[in-house]
Amino acid sequence: MAELAARVQELHHLLNKYSHEYYVQDNPSVPDSEYDKLLRELIDIENAHPEYKTEDSPTVRVGGEAQVTFNKVRHDTPMLSLGNAFNEEELRRFDARVREKAGKVEYMCELKIDGLAVSLKYEEGRFVQGLTRGDGTIGEDITANLRTIRAIPLRINKPLTFEVRGEAYMPKKSFEHLNQQKEEAGEQAFANPRNAAAGSLRQLDSKLASKRRLSVFLYSVNDFTNFHAESQSEALDELDELGFKTNQNRKRVADIEGVLEYIKYWTAHREALPYDIDGIVIKVNDLEEQDELGFTQKSPRWAIAYKFPAEEVVTKLLDIELSIGRTGVVTPTAVLEPVRVAGTTVSRASLHNEDLIHEKDIRIGDSVVIKKAGDIIPEVIRSLPERRPEGTETYHMPTHCPSCGHELVRLDGEVALRCINPKCPAQLVEGMIHFVSRQAMNIDGLGTKIIMQLYENEIIKDVGDLYYLTKDDLLPLERMGEKKADNLLKAIEDSKDNSLEHLLFGLGIRHLGVKASQVIAERFETMDRLFKVTEEELLEIHDIGDKLATSLITYLNNEDIIALIEKLRRKNVNMTYEGLKTTEIQTDSEFNGKTVVLTGKLHNMTRTEASKWLEAQGAKTTSSVTKNTDLVIAGEDAGSKLTKAEKLGTEVWSEEEFMEKQKEIENK
């Protein structure tokens, strides 16, 4: 048996080596037939001796048992999106903002891969979990599918515990091969490699995902504790050394002029790449300078994504349809003769409002130029009057709502027409769709089609009715089985425990966004208190303006809304703020206002738990040591951050000292 165990280890080594050569280095040393022969040998051994099969065996690349669903997992730190720039002027403004705060900086330019953002977690050098970006806060666990990507190492060459992030994508060859198979099978082909990659990673059967031949480029480390890097370029070099696949077309440049040259080159050469890119990512290279620049709520201040100019195409405008949003705004949409643009077939595009239609003189029957704004949302840019058929007429919006027949109005200072009938069916349905959305009540599985069916069958009339649904209500719906109904009812039940800010945002109060919902919920704590709030009290809050204050008071004084809240209360929907309050932050703590860096391995708590405790004490936790760092807490095997702290003369505590201080504070 010792000989067999040794052979298994040898096969692991050889298969991992050959896979890395082929999928990461693009330099195979053996033919495919040799790799396949060794893999077959390992599969046979594992089938005969299951005790030799490990989670990081090369055989997991072929996929395993199909999953029932994907579990939702909260990211240790949010996967933020990048701000966008669409031209040289916007890039120069970004550069000016950076230099104003950080002085002269060096930039790292990287190709923006058109794929799906993923997060990979490693423990003691072994790949243990992979997540999608999701909404940036919560992603889906797609570990089984990511294991099938041969460019992702299942074990790295150092026993490190950390998280690395990157972009999973489908190479152009894989995309062509997949669509050829689909066409031969009489199935609909994928529109573009990005959609194909996303669809592949969300296959419940990892064996199917394995056949899709995806790849990955890694581009960032979530926590630099175990890294020696002091810059983005050094971090990518370290990832290379650990066996990860990074994009080698990156370039370090001295200033914004170098950035523009890099963009100019890849704008001209992007089509020659064996994968799709949709822009260039520009990052301040120095990690200390990144830390000083910090973040907004949505994105880092030290990075930006330049998006390539959108492709423009000509097609015919067949009709103009109207949709009614949850706030009553009537939006015109162009119905187009289908045409391919930026990799997908487009048959509808935004026209925004009547003023814009008249300004661009767009008429039904015109030939029009369309593009995808930000390579995502199709919009009509202009008409081509020289191609206009005789007899076409200027377009005029209707005077009455196409959903309920109520007269449309244009409020002071607005360009949009609006239906102000609170009983308008289209608004009610859109409001319910908003209510169940991720940032509101987050009722998983309750999509647009189900809500439409429930409303059209008069099972629900408002969001309160969702909490009165029964299994008997759901089962007659199209494509609704026992299990799906049970899952949906559980998701509705779970949503009752959401903190107050989710309910506030879900109600769709005009001018009330996610951030303001959080601020108001934290300030007034309960729905009962909100019903008594005055406009003056709201205006005392820094983030609340006149329009929002007036809108909220008007909303809460509506008798129908009071009845709706009572309807929700009877079903035990939470009406209280459950989050951490700003007032609960210990402003008298000795940590208040201090910048703290955690480094090395902690034994008594996770780094995330330690960070949350410090933040509750009013501290700011960061990932790199700078001259502004007040304290470094060093666990086991603390590396370059500890060295840098000692060099800068920064105060350093051991984990034991940190734990003692915690006990001292908590026992006061």
Cβ-proximal residues to 657 (8 Å cutoff; 6+ apart), any chain: none
CA gap 238, 227 in Å, rounded: 8
The angle at the Cα of 609, spanning 606 to 611, to the nearest 5 degrees, equals 110
DSSP label at residue 190: P
Q: Which residues are catalytic?
A: 112
Pair of tokens at residue 597: 């860096």
3-state SS, residue 305: strand
Pair of tokens at residue 487: 């899952």
Contact present, 246 and 229 (Cβ < 8 Å): no
Task: Please list the alpha-helical segments (H only) found in 309-369.
Answer: 354-359
Beta 84-85 vs 303-307: how paired, if at all?
Answer: parallel
- For residue 654, list its beta bridge partners: 634
CA gap 338, 318 in Å, rounded: 10
Q: Which helix (H) or strand (E) holds 302?
A: none
DSSP 506-518: HTT-TT--HHHHH
Cβ-proximal residues to 569 (8 Å cutoff; 6+ apart), any chain: 527, 575
DSSP label at residue 67: P
Backbone angles phi, psi at 42, to 5 degrees: -65, -40
Pair of tokens at residue 203: 């296959």
CA gap 660, 657 in Å, rounded: 5
CA gap 334, 317 in Å, rounded: 6
Pair of tokens at residue 662: 């915690």
DSSP 156-189: -SS---EEEEEEEE--HHHHHHHHHHHHHTTPPP
Show the 3-state SS of 98-109: HHHHHCCCCEEE
- For residue 141, list its beta bridge partners: 131
Look up tokens 């008007």; give the residue.
554
Helices 448-456/425-435 angle, 10° precision: 140
CA gap 609, 231 in Å, rounded: 26
Helices 172-184/193-201 angle, 10° precision: 80
DSSP 9-38: HHHHHHHHHHHHHHHTSS--SS-HHHHHHH
What single letter denotes the amino acid at residue 354?
E
End-to-end CA distance of the chain: 60
Look up tokens 């990979």; give the residue.
120
For the chain, what is the total number of helices (H) and then of strands (E)? Answer: 24, 22
